[in-house]
Amino acid sequence: MSGPERALARIDLGAIERNCQRLRQQLRGGTQLCAVVKADGYGHGAVWAAKAAVDGGAARLAVATAAEAEDLRRHGLAVPILVMGALTADELRLALEADADLVAWRTDFASAVAEHALPGARRPRVHVKLDSGMGRLGTADIEEARAVAEAVAADERLELAGAMTHFATADEPGDEHFPAQLERFMPFARELKERHPELLVHAANSAATLREPAAHFDMVRCGIAVYGLDPFNRDPFEHGLEPALTLESWVAAVKRFRPGDSAGYGRSWRAERETWVATLPIGYGDGWRRGLSNDCDVLIRGRRHPLVGTISMDNVTVELGPETDLEPGDSAVLIGPQGDERILCEEVAQRLDTINYEVVTGLLPRVRRLHSR
Ligand SMILES: Cc1ncc(COP(=O)(O)O)c(C=O)c1O
């Protein structure tokens, strides 16, 4: 354990490993787990997270960009890596150099992949994407998706590796769009699989994986659940997931406040009583968003204390109450457990009217990541 540090994100790699094991236990036999480690492993450190996920049984990895795939390869990750995002010509070259699997939904892109294939290297592996209702990447035209798949299969320079889609509302149990997307994707996937039995059919993100075994197919692409966060933005422990990230700071100063004394820019909070206020050296320059001003709690010595005043770039202030035993040097937890208390990332997200994804991905590089098991 290291001592106090201004802003530190501890990443429990054992939790990532166990989350992958738990996700795998829920999969139908033969379904592979692909761990999504884009955006620096959702803020957890992509290379570390990827290695822990592979140790936990992830057979594959997925990222959004070619540079992310190249980074994983450079750090020794040898499992298949799927680049899910759209690629410029330069990015395509980089993705192929990283021996990544690619996603296509137009024949002209598939041809460009074939033309950029590296001499002597394995044939580029292409996954055809049907937009079954996300309205983003992929073709919404089933005929076009079939044509792309057959063009890839017919091109000796390419390998047809997968058929995929992505869900827009898997995290909203009870909605009608998710089953409709599944209905649209299934016959397309079934037909392609019959013609090309080797290809991987995949669709599910974390929410779909936890909610609908019929969406598992040959592989699931899980991101948020790998990190122990709840895709439904409730409590991850309900699904047996363990949050991997704890965000800490420390008490740098403790001050006595009289009624009317204010803390921080704009004097948005004033003491209503004699009280103590602590300053922690973490702020929006670390990704602790200003929208949490006067609206979140911090754990110190296992107790909740309200953050008061406007969050600055480098500091926040916390009210300790009229009597306090807290001292400079005490550790403070902004996300995670301390003693018998805990603050979930989902709680922070709800206060910010956002999702847990954005909270962890939004932690800035100034917050040191400390990885351990
Ligand atoms: C295409 C695709 N598949 C899978 C995922 C993983 O989603 P989640 O983090 O909800 O599991 C993402 C992430 O947004 C994605 O863009």
**pLDDT per residue over 215-246, tens digit each?**
999 999 999 999 999 999 999 999 999 999 99
| Cα gap 163→244, rounded to integer Å | 31
Q: What is the pTM of this model?
A: 0.97
Residue 238: partners with Cβ closer than 8 Å, 6 or more residues away: 230
Other Cβ atoms closer than 10 A to 288: 30
| Cα gap 231→177, rounded to integer Å | 17
Continuous segment of H or E residues that includes residue 342: strand 341-343
Instruction: Compute the distance from residue 14 Cα to the ligand 1 centre, in Å.
Output: 22
265 among known catalytic residues = yes
Share of the chain above pLDDT 70, in %: 99
Instruction: Please give the average per-residue pLDDT across 200-212, as a whole number.
Output: 98
| pLDDT surpassing 80 at residue 175 | yes
Side chain identity at residue 125, one-letter code: R
| pLDDT surpassing 80 at residue 2 | no
| Cα gap 243→15, rounded to integer Å | 7
* Whether 90 contacts 65, CB under 8 Å: no
Instruction: Compute the distance from residue 37 Cα to the ligand 1 centre, in Å.
Output: 9
Question: Of 59, 116, 60, which is closest to residue 83 (Cα–Cα)?
Answer: 60
Per the document, the length of the chain is 373
Mutate to test the pocket of ligand 1, among 26, 33, 36 (most ligand atoms within 8 A of CB): 36
Share of the chain above pLDDT 90, in %: 98
Side chain identity at residue 135, one-letter code: G
> What pLDDT score does 153 carry?
97
Residue 191: partners with Cβ closer than 8 Å, 6 or more residues away: 146
Quickly state the pLDDT bin for 3 (edges 50, 70, 90). Answer: low
> What pLDDT score does 5 carry?
87
Torsion of CA 202, 153, 123, 201, to 10 degrees: 10
* Whether 318 contacts 273, CB under 8 Å: no
357 among known catalytic residues = no
Instruction: Please give the average per-residue pLDDT across 256-285, as a whole number.
Output: 98
Using alpha carbons only, give the angle 162, 167, 172 rounded to the nearest 5 degrees. Answer: 155
Three-state DSSP class for 261? coil
Place of tokens 């609206």: 295
Place of tokens 């001292």: 327
Mean of per-residue pLDDT scores for the chain: 97
List beta partners, residue 277: 255, 319
> What pLDDT score does 4 carry?
74
Condensed to tens digits (0 to 9), the pLDDT of residues 34-92 reads 999 999 999 999 999 999 999 999 999 999 999 999 999 999 999 999 999 999 999 99
The atom of ligand 1 lying closest to the CA of 205 is 11
Condensed to tens digits (0 to 9), the pLDDT of residues 304-353 reads 999 999 999 999 999 999 999 999 999 999 999 999 999 999 999 999 99
| pLDDT surpassing 60 at residue 1 | no
Instruction: Please give the average per-residue pLDDT across 119-132, as a whole number.
Output: 96
Q: What are phi and psi of 164, to 5 degrees?
A: -140, 165
The atom of ligand 1 lying closest to the CA of 357 is 9
| Cα gap 185→21, rounded to integer Å | 27
Three-state DSSP class for 253? strand
The atom of ligand 1 lying closest to the CA of 36 is 6
The active-site residue, picked from 38, 42, 51, 129, is 38
* CA-proximal residue: ligand 1, atom 5 (nearest): 205
List beta partners, residue 12: 372
| pLDDT surpassing 60 at residue 300 | yes
Three-state DSSP class for 343? strand
Instruction: Compute the distance from residue 50 Cα to the ligand 1 centre, in Å.
Output: 15
Condensed to tens digits (0 to 9), the pLDDT of residues 11-23 reads 999 999 999 999 9
Q: What are phi and psi of 319, to 5 degrees?
A: -85, 130
Greater pLDDT, 118 or 1? 118
| pLDDT surpassing 80 at residue 293 | yes
Residues with C-beta less than 6 Å from any ligand 1 atom = 36, 84, 166, 205-207, 221-225, 231
The active-site residue, picked from 193, 265, 284, 357, is 265
Three-state DSSP class for 363? coil
The atom of ligand 1 lying closest to the CA of 64 is 16
Quickly state the pLDDT bin for 28 (edges 50, 70, 90). Answer: confident
Instruction: Please give the average per-residue pLDDT across 133-140, as a whole number.
Output: 96
